[in-house]
Structure 1
Amino acid sequence: MKRQAPIRLLLCAALLSVIAALSGCASGEAHVTVNLDGSADLKVKTEIAPAVLRTVGQEDLPMRLAERLKRWNMTVGEPETEGMAGFTASRHFTREELSGNGEFPAVPGLRVDHSAEKRLFTVKHRIRIEADPLEWVPETARRQLEERLGLLQSAARTLAERQLSLRVAVTLPIRWSDHNADQVADGGRTISWQLSLFEPNVLEMEAAVPRAGVIAAAGGGLLLLLIAGIVVFFRRRKKRSQRIG
């Protein structure tokens, strides 16, 4: 459990984005940087217009999320854009914290395939993640959201989707050998995806790692757990609100 808690951080950015869907503007970004020694650094930032939080009666949500992140040993700071609500957060993970054989929980709308092909001097890691954010939303809320989306014309729906920015990125100390990311930086070491909240997403990455290393597995695994955190936190929060209501 200790290993699972910090990686729910990207979830917080996604939660703010869902709250703002079709009614405001929100952005979230998570970046995993894997180091040569197998450790990793996680940085997350999320921003949302204060007017949106007031509309849904959640003005203190960023503050409550920030306090939770501090309990997960995250370093939390103010949002980067003046006048926006949200936070920045970061943490360093040691190689020991990222290692282990903990089972990945089964989550609706999330499928993961990971294979490792051993070669003479390297191990080729292939990771494929299929994620459908709408499947993470409880059924009643999902129907309401789909109905609202169905009422929008194509251009209006595209505009609504563009108002939401949810990006995840992974940086290795070596070049990725193959991927389907929509952005590449740092000479091929950093790849990132713009996630859609309304349609299924497929993330694919491949890297040939020296056999003594665990770099690709650490990066893909942490990214995977970050995405899973979105599901766990959002569904639990929705159930609590239904019981209160």
Structure 2
Amino acid sequence: MNDAKLKRTFLPLLLMTIILLLTACAKGEAHVTVNTDGTADVKFNIQMSNQNLEIIGQPELINKLKDTFAEQGFETESAATKDTQGLTASKQIDMSSADQKLEIPDSVKFTHDTEEKFFYSTHRIVVDADLMSAIPVNDWTDTLNSIPSFVRNLVFKEVDLDFKLTLPIKPESSNANQTSEDHKTMTWNINPLSNNHLELTVNVPNIQNILIVSIGLLVLMIVTTIFFVRRRKKKKTS
């Protein structure tokens, strides 16, 4: 899995989306589906209240966000209702291609440890993210910081952020808030006001070694069967 490829495309858009959600009392979901062919499907779902968009003076915010996603190669689709504006943005990323290292904010810590074993490799991924600290200093953050803390806390309670991850295999463990019935899709509820700690451990089978052992056992079974069949025939003839 190429972590840099996913982080370089995903993280800037995620941070930008967080900024917009925090200022519009909205709902947002980021869903990453990892495929067996080395690609990942990334999808954003965003809903914002028309009333809140008017309050913050950004009635065209969804359209601007839609254009930004499109510039990054995402396919976008509007999802408006009577009282809300929204969009979905999706893109498939090739994680197997070579890439350069991504510089991520100091407030986002990402570690990926791998333990190689004969039949499988264990991947341990840990992410610690303080979203407020990760947002670059700009007019948006100045606006947020100008709001009294108790008012900001009340506003942020209305923000619903989820991060979903779907894997092709069942993980060994995770600290997700919810998991699907097949345990392959994990959902973390993201808190915009404090540090978010995500843990995931996955055992990835070593197909080559498994095949070697399986073929070896198959050959051994065939040789053993032939040996006993010939032995029985010799006994009968004698």
Normalised to the residue count of structure 2, the TM-score between the two structures is 0.74
Determine the structure 2 residue equivalent to 1:128. Answer: 126
Please tell me whether the aligned partners of residues 6 and 73 of structure 1 are also in contact (alpha carbons under 8 angstroms): no
Shift in alpha-carbon separation, 1:12–1:45, aligned structure 2, 3 A: farther
Change (3 A) 1:5 1:95: closer
Which residue pairs with 2:160 in the alignment? 165
Name the counterpart of 2:179. 184
Unaligned runs of 5+ in 1: 214-245
On the 8 A contact 1:6/1:74 being kept in 2, the answer is: no
* Aligned-partner SS, 2:23: helix
Distance in 1 between residues matched to 2:134 and 2:40, nearest whole Å: 27
* Structure 1 position 118 matched with structure 2 position 116: yes
Conserved? CA contact 2:23–2:144, under 8 Å: no
Quick one: higher RCO (CA 8 Å, sep 6+), 1 or 2? 1
The residue that corresponds to 1:11 in the other structure is 15
What corresponds to 2:71 in structure 1? 71
2: CA distance between counterparts of 1:144 and 1:19?
Answer: 7
Map of 1:224 onto structure 2: none
Match of 2:217 in 1: none
Distance in 2 separating the partners of 1:143 and 1:125: 40
Residue 111 to residue 5, structure 1, CA distance change in 2 (3 Å) = closer
Which structure 2 residue ranges, 5 or more long, are not aligned? 209-238
| Alpha-carbon distance between aligned partners in 2 of 1:45 and 1:190, rounded to the nearest angstrom | 16
| Per-residue deviation, residues 8-66 of structure 1 (Å, max 9, x unmatched) | 3333431221212xxxx301101011112121111111111111111121111211111
Give the C-alpha shift of residue 144 in structure 1: 6.0
**TM-score, with length taken from structure 1:** 0.72
How many residue pairs get aligned? The number is 202
SS class of match (2:171): coil
